[in-house]
Amino acid sequence: SAAEWGYTKRNGPFTWAKNYPTAAGIRQSPVDIDTALATSDSSLESKPLRWKYVPQNTRTIVNSGHGWRVDVDSEGSELVGGPLEGTYKLQQFHCHWGSSSDKGSEHTVDGQSYAAELHLVHWNSSKYADCGEAADYPDGLTVLGVLLKVGAKNPELQKVIDLIPSISHRGEKTEVKEAIDPAKMLPKTLSYWTYLGSLTVPPCNESVTWILFKEPVEVSEEQLAAFRSLRCYKRGEECPCDEVDGLLISNYRPTLPLGTRELRECGS
């Protein structure tokens, strides 16, 4: 089969369009947030973004081979308001990071990278039956993006990090026993930028309304190091990628042009 996509020279972001043509589209993510281009929009201010999560519904954490991912039972969750029409439900959350903390976020702000970026993936439950179906429609998904910068240890993310040793290799998964509250991983101030974009991994579906919070949240260097200890290959198999020891030291996609898309902001 075609070499699985990844983040190395051989199978990285600049090769994805070969097997996933949408990756070469004009509504791709991430993008650089040129703050001077952002337009504030009274309709966003008038409909505050609101979310409700059920910490007990965080089910499993898996090593996808491209990072860690916490899968959630969508029932009981909801995200409404801001740029969104209808109700979106939480499906999963995951992170992107770099080989050192001077890079690793997917979105950049006025050209500045952060150390990592947390993505909370939601699907439009007002119009579609599940996340898989929603991913095929332009209004199907919403991802809340949180920029992560080096600082204090993040207690909520520590619950994820404590599970990483049990999912060290690709395909390994484990139950999340201690409830993780996604709401506790969001910044205090809720100002955000929003624009229409895509998944940042193949097949790069152009079905995401991006909502990127302006205020970064802190994680510690040790926590970032734990992310980089994940391996991209299955236990007992050869390491297919040419990363050092098959360690997932970097899993962020470089930015794509915003093009003629509108970039709106809410809050200072």
Ligand X SMILES: Cc1cc(=S)c(O)co1
Residues interacting with ligand X, by CB under 6 A? 94, 119, 121, 143, 199-201
Among 243, 261, 267, CA closest to 34: 261
Query: Three-state SS for 236?
Result: coil
Answer whether 60's CB lies under 8 Å from 174's CB: yes
Instruction: State yes or no: residue 122 binds Zn ion (CB under 5 A).
Output: no
CA distances to 146, 154, 159, 181, 194 from 184, in Å: 12, 10, 12, 6, 21
Nearer to Zn ion, 117 or 265 (CB): 117
Nearer to ligand X, 121 or 212 (CB): 121
| Beta carbon of residue 115, minimum distance to ligand X (angstroms, whole number) | 17
Residue closest to Zn ion, measured at CB: 119
Nearer to ligand X, 41 or 160 (CB): 160
223 binds, among ligand X, Zn ion, none (CB under 5 to 8 A by kind): none
Nearer to ligand X, 143 or 196 (CB): 143
144 binds, among ligand X, Zn ion, none (CB under 5 to 8 A by kind): none
d(CA 112, CA 212): 14
The active-site residue, picked from 66, 107, 119, 122, is: 66
66 counts as catalytic: yes
Answer whether 160's CB lies under 8 Å from 182's CB: no
The correct pick among 119, 159, 214, 253 for binding Zn ion (CB under 5 A) is: 119
Question: Would you state the structure tokens that stand for residue 127, as one six-digit string?
Answer: 């119009």
Phi, psi for 230 (deg, rounded to 5): -70, 150
Answer whether 112's CB lies under 8 Å from 147's CB: no
CA 176 to chain centre: 19
For residue 194, the surrounding DSSP H or E stretch is strand 192-197
**Total site size for Zn ion, rule CB under 5 A:** 2
Answer whether 160's CB lies under 8 Å from 30's CB: no
Binding segment for Zn ion among 48-56, 76-84, 197-205, 248-256 (CB under 5 A)?
197-205
| Beta carbon of residue 252, minimum distance to Zn ion (angstroms, whole number) | 9
Binding segment for Zn ion among 37-45, 58-66, 183-191, 199-207 (CB under 5 A)?
199-207
Instruction: State yes or no: residue 214 binds Zn ion (CB under 5 A).
Output: no
Binding site for Zn ion (CB under 5 A): 119, 200
Active site residues: 66
